[in-house]
Chain A
Amino acid sequence: MDFPTIISLTESELDLGALLAQITIPTTGAAAIFTGMVRGKTSSNHPRETNFLDYEAYQPMAEKKMHQVAEEIREKWPTIEGIAIVQRIGRLYPGTPTTMIACTSAHRNNGVFEAARYGIDRLKEIVPVWKKEIGPDGEEWIVGHYHPRPGE
């Protein structure tokens, strides 16, 4: 049986339930879903309020790298059945899901938690997407820290 892989870079609203259904196959008995949403109030570090985030992507490379993240998950955890890696772009308001990484397997101890965690960490390292934060005091690009190796 083919294991489903869903990769999507989209301006449309994320339907977590529909995505989960797409990576559930007859042998699936467990899923780990990570989703991130726009935070309206940040208390740690540099406390502030956020009105919305504007996401942009280098679309063809972002899709290629999302596929690469899925392949890396399959190499590390061969027991993973379905993988969904979804990034929403455009203008997103507090409370709105912006990303979803979900992995399914036959049992919970087959690496679903670790695989989903790995997926979001890698997305934040190598998938070319950026966000600009707009708040009551102005706007600012959020810049990451990771420098991929050539070919990574």
Chain B
Amino acid sequence: MAKWRIVLSIRILFLAWTVPSSAQNQTGLIQDLRIKATVGFEHFNRAIAWDASEETTKLKSSVFTFRPALEINQRFSLAGIIGYSLSNHGTVFSRELPLSLELVEGNTGGLLFGGELGAMLVETGDFEIGLRGEYVYYNGKQESFEIPGLAVNGTVNTQPKWQRIHGGLQFTYIRYSYIYPYLRLAYDYLWGRLVVEEQIQDLTGSQEMTFKSSGRFNAVAGLDYEPADGWTLKAELSILPNSSSVDWGVMAGLSYVF
């Protein structure tokens, strides 16, 4: 099965590369190279299951991103992602420390890095079928808190980190000029860890609490609107069902192609 997946992936990539280039007069692989810059905001929540405590909480994340991208032949795009995220992993209990802690929910700021790939595979009638994939890594800042109620001073340091991979097929309706609604069915997986370090005088301990998203597949409905030459407004709504609820996310962005 794994072998077939690899073969299929290679064939799709090959198709993505050869179909558009063969449709153009074979004068060179790169005929049109553009730079695109996008600023965006995304908010999503995900049910996350914690390995240590078998608890499930909601990760809520607000993400501000800047995505400089290269667009090749208007069919392929490769973008870097840098951004800032406020993430809230919900209230969790850390019991593998000398003193157990209840880490009450709250936002933690952190930098975000990643990349994005897009490819138009097939254009058929009023539809365009493409691939889109994204990977982001959130590195939350380390925060320090005083542990209340002790006979001596004690502190706890926490640092959350998570990664998210998202990729799937996108179906875009291209009949209208300037407005391009699309639907994307994608694999979406988020995983991460929360490192908790406790120091109370000479008493120290640490716990690395790992988590992963409960759902795996999501559906994204979006719209690209081009109000002026070179400018694109983008909006997306995504839903991701899991065993007990439905997670959701929204995204808005503004792009300019140079």
Q: Do A and B come from one complex?
A: no
B interface with A by C-beta (< 8 Å): none
